[in-house]
């Protein structure tokens, strides 16, 4: 109770501040229904029993982390919740501490058992759930409640206390608990209320690529130093340039300094899985949290498996290279490859069914296909402008072309998608409607038109410049060809052949695309954070070009880079290259040898850090908007809005001398 009260006031202040700061921002076209309250077990009027599952997003080990989402989701949308939590955390992000309090460790391993709120539980196969029951309605002053909880085996558990106080117990999973309460208040006629508690535990898995994993949004963002750090340029540009360094890095910042990669890596941003850049800000995680917060009679067991860089062949069916390798505290090496997502999911389901027969996957969240057509190559083609770098990266395969992506979209992707559909069927009991495919949003739109291009937002590297012609071509390809074809693939339409079109359709989500049309990477507003407005300049002159003065102050605005706040609300819901560097500053390692940086001062580092580290990916606000679109679809698939079948009967107690069998026990 104390934690709940402590949370309430700063969050309300955050909501007020957001209302003032975001008056110019466009709202979502359709907002979800307000957060459901713990549902009563009786009709209107009189006394009622209501109950809810506590800490029902089971990935969270501590209830305080879940309550913050419950409180902010009362505003009605995941986007509003994210904005409130962003302001409350001063833009540092709500996940920065939660990431160390999960039932999945930083290597992606499920904790079995997991200690949640001081109780050991099996994560994948829970046997009981913590539940709070209370009496609601017109409770007489000073009334006493005699509670009884009967699980059908052994004597009922009983407790007598003041009726205004809630009562906590752990409900057995898979069977109803009959609940009754005798309400006594002075000379008033005693009342008897009965009902049942039956928790539905929903198993949700998330599969896919960088959009599914939450790339660009580290759970604990990088801490930036206000000093500069030297990078070497390619032959086509100036010899050296300085950009903000990592706070806490004690190695040499000059380009002539010796290799100190391990020291540099210790100051990295933190992900709840670094190898896959898996983030709690992912739309998949936010959808699962939203379901748990909105429906008080369920618990959500969530298994995140999405991995940045994944394709259908390499990532879902086969293993893939890790995106980033962060050494542990002991300095031990970390994984260089990531297991196939489908294999991991099958293994988890098999283990769960052994322990709990009948346990199966209720819902699967999916986004895949962008890497299959080399979307990162299209990003590189747009933003890498210097001729020397373009030549080098074209030869190494970093830069792609629309024609190449169009060919992959016509041939390879449909074939891969057909194989994926068949592989998913047995995992969802043959019901592909339980696969909620959430489409990508076009990242390069503002006011329904392609972004104009230029260096604004991309001047983190001297070679970057979003070429207007190439940008318009890619934006048009995404809008007119790529996104429509994904819809055809998911829904077995537009000439896409499926064995059984009616049964093979996935549940498809794309309603968020309309609102993203006003929040691309070039969107700006007067309500943006002051650092963005003062330091990320539209003309692309955000950084001091002088290698002497930039060594101590790389920002031309004079502000320290440590003032950047990645999780404050802003008009753009797409990370640009500057955001990517300032939030994550990735030193990617899962790259072909031809483009793997030689050391931390290498010119290649700056480019691949942006291209592979989160640029042109949704921000936390963007993921929240995607979750707002996916959440009602997921709830519909799970039939969560159906009427609660639990029955409650309210009636006067029989006279004290009545035989026990005359008393209603329904």
Contact yes or no for 632/32 (Cβ under 8 A) = yes
SS3 245: strand
φ, ψ for residue 428, nearest 5 deg: -120, 25
Q: Calculate the alpha carbon distances from 64 to 71, 97, 117 in Å.
A: 11, 11, 9
Return the structure tokens found at 148: 């009884």
**Is residue 660 over pLDDT 90?**
no
DSSP state of 56: -
Q: Residue 104 has what DSSP assignment?
A: B
Average confidence (pLDDT) over 579-601? 82
Handedness of CA 236, 237, 239, 241 (dihedral sign): negative
Average of pLDDT values for 177-187? 91
The reported pLDDT for the residue numbered 391 is 85
Fold of 203-214+265-526+570-637: Rossmann fold (3.40.50)
Confidence of residue 538 (pLDDT cuts 50, 70, 90): very high
Contact 299, 53 (CB under 8 A): yes
Answer for the pair 280, 69: CB distance below 8 angstroms, yes or no: no
What local confidence, expressed as pLDDT, does residue 280 receive? Answer: 98
Q: Are strands 363-367 and 144-150 parallel, antiparallel or unpaired?
A: unpaired
β pairing state of 363-367 and 200-208: parallel
- H/E segment holding residue 530: helix 530-535
What percentage of the chain has pLDDT greater than the value 70?
87
Helix (H, G, I), strand (E, B) or coil at 22: coil
Q: What's the confidence (pLDDT) of residue 22?
A: 37
Instruction: Please calculate the CA angle 110-627-609 and round it to the nearest 5 degrees.
Output: 70
Q: Which residue has the tokens 């605005």?
A: 557
Does the pTM of the predicted model rise above 0.75?
yes
Q: Is the pLDDT of residue 83 over 70?
A: yes
Task: Read off the DSSP letter of residue 592.
Answer: -
Query: d(Cα 83, Cα 88) in Å, to the nearest integer?
Result: 9
Q: Is the pLDDT assigned to residue 5 strictly greater than 50? A: no
SS3 253: coil
Query: Given the structure tokens 């501590």, which residue do they identify?
Result: 62
Model confidence at 396, in pLDDT bands (50, 70, 90)?
confident
Using CB atoms within 10 Å of the CB of residue 441, give its burial: 0 to 12 exposed, 13 to 18 middle, 19+ buried.
buried
Q: Give dist(CA 127, CA 174) in Å, integer.
A: 8
Over the chain, what is the mean pLDDT?
87
Separation CA 67–CA 155 (nearest Å): 33
Convert the pLDDT of each residue in 595-651 to its tens digit.
777 788 887 887 877 777 799 999 999 999 999 999 999 999 999 987 444 433 444
Coil, helix or strand for 648? coil
3-state SS, residue 201: strand
Q: What is the 3-state secondary structure (H, E, C) of 498-513?
A: CCCCCCCCCEEECCCH
pLDDT digits (tens, 9 = 90+) for 471-506: 999 999 999 999 999 999 999 999 998 989 888 999
Report helix, strand or coil for 241.
Answer: strand
**Residue 328: pLDDT band by 50, 70, 90 thresholds?**
low
Beta bridge partners of 300: 57, 202
Which range (54-63, 163-172, 231-240, 513-522) has the least confidence?
231-240
Count other C-beta atoms under 10 Å from residue 426's C-beta: 11
Angle between helices 468-477 and 375-383 in degrees, nearest 10: 160
pLDDT class for 107, splitting at 50, 70, 90? confident
Element (H, E) at 535: helix 530-535
Q: What is the mean pLDDT of residues 290-299?
A: 97
Does the structure show a pLDDT above 70 at 663? no
How much is the pLDDT for 189? 79
What mean pLDDT comes out for the span 583-591? 81
Residue 7 has pLDDT above 60, yes or no: no
pLDDT at 62: 97
Q: What is the pLDDT of residue 238?
A: 61
State residue 590's pLDDT score: 65
Measured in whole angstroms, how far is the alpha carbon of residue 647 from the centre of its chain? 36
Residue 217 has pLDDT above 70, yes or no: yes
Based on the number of CB atoms within 10 Å of its own CB, is 334 exposed (0-12), middle (13-18) or buried (19 or more)?
middle
* Burial readout 622-652 (b: 16 or more C-beta within 10 A, e: otherwise): bbbbbbbbbbbbbbebbebeeeeebebebee
Tell me the pLDDT tens digit for each residue of 512-532: 999 999 999 999 999 999 999
pLDDT exceeds 70 at position 424:
yes
How far apart, in whole angstroms, are the C-alpha atoms of residue 374 and residue 575? 19
Q: Which residue has 């996957």 as its token pair? A: 361
Position 40 scores a pLDDT of 52
What DSSP character marks residue 166?
-
For residues 425 and 420, give the distance between their C-alpha atoms in angstroms, rounded to a whole number.
9
Instruction: Sort residue 569 into left (φ over 0), alpha (ψ -120 to 50) or beta.
Output: beta
CA distance 553 to 214: 31
Note the pLDDT of residue 336: 79
pLDDT of residue 646: 40
Q: Please report which confidence band the pLDDT of residue 326 belongs to, taking 50, 70 and 90 as the band edges.
A: low
């Amino acid at each position: 109770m104390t934690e709940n009260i402590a949370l309430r006031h700063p969050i309300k202040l955050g909501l007020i501040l957001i209302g003032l700061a975001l008056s110019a921002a466009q709202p979502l076209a359709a907002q979800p229904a307000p957060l459901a309250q713990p549902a009563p077990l009786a009709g209107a009027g009189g006394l009622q029993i209501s109950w809810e599952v506590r800490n029902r997003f089971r990935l969270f080990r501590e209830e305080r982390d879940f309550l913050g989402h419950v409180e902010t989701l009362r505003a009605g949308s995941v986007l509003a919740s994210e904005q409130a939590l962003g302001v409350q955390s001063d833009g540092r992000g709500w996940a920065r501490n939660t990431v160390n309090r999960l039932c999945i460790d930083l290597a992606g391993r499920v904790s079995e058992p997991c200690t949640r709120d001081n109780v050991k539980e099996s994560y994948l196969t829970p046997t009981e759930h913590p539940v709070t029951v209370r009496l609601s309605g017109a409770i007489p002053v000073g009334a006493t409640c005699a509670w009884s909880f009967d699980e059908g085996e052994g004597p009922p558990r009983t407790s007598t206390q003041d009726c205004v106080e809630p009562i906590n117990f752990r409900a057995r999973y898979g069977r109803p608990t009959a609940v009754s309460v005798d309400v006594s208040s002075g000379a008033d006629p005693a009342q008897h209320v009965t009902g049942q508690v039956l928790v539905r535990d929903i198993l949700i898995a998330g599969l896919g690529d960088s959009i599914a994993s939450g790339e660009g949004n580290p759970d604990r963002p990088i801490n930036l130093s206000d000093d500069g750090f030297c990078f070497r340029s390619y032959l086509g540009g100036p010899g050296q340039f300085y950009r903000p360094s990592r706070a806490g890095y004690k190695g040499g910042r000059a380009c002539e300094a010796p290799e100190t990669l391990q020291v540099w890596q210790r100051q990295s941003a933190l992900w709840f899985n670094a190898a896959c850049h898996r983030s709690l800000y992912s739309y998949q995680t936010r959808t699962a949290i939203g379901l748990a917060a909105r429906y008080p009679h369920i618990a959500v067991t969530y298994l995140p498996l999405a991995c940045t860089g994944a394709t259908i062949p390499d990532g879902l069916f086969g293993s893939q290279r890790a995106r980033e390798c962060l050494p542990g505290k002991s300095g031990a090496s970390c994984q260089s490859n990531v297991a196939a997502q489908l294999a991991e999911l099958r293994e988890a389901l098999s283990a769960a069914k052994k322990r709990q027969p009948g346990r199966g996957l209720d819902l699967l969240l999916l986004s895949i296909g962008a890497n299959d057509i080399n979307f990162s190559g299209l990003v590189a083609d747009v933003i890498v402008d210097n001729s020397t770098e373009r030549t080098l990266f074209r030869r190494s395969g970093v830069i792609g072309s629309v024609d190449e992506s169009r060919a992959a979209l016509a041939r390879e992707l449909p074939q891969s998608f057909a194989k994926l559909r068949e592989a998913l069927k047995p995992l969802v009991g043959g019901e592909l409607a339980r696969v909620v495919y959430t489409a990508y949003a076009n990242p390069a739109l503002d006011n329904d038109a392609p972004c104009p291009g230029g260096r604004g937002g991309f001047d983190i590297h001297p070679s970057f410049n979003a070429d207007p012609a190439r940008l318009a071509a890619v934006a048009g390809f995404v809008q007119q060809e790529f996104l429509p074809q994904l819809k055809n693939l998911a829904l077995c339409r537009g000439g896409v052949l499926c064995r059984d079109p009616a049964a093979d359709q996935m549940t498809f989500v794309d309603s968020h695309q309309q609102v993203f049309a006003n929040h691309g990477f070039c969107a700006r507003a007067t309500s943006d954070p002051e650092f963005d407005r003062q330091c990320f300049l539209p003309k692309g002159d955000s950084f001091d070009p002088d290698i002497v003065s930039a060594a101590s102050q790389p920002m031309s605005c004079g502000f320290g880079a440590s003032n950047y706040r990645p999780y404050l609300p802003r008009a753009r819901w797409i990370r640009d290259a500057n955001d990517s560097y300032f939030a994550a500053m990735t030193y990617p390692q899962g790259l072909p040898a031809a483009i793997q940086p030689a050391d931390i001062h290498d010119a290649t580092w700056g480019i691949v850090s942006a291209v592979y580290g989160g640029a042109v990916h949704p921000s936390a606000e963007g993921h929240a908007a995607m979750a707002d679109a996916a959440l009602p679809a997921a709830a519909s698939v799970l039939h969560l809005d159906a009427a609660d079948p639990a029955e409650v009967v309210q009636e006067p107690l029989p006279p004290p001398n009545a035989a026990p069998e005359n008393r209603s026990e329904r």
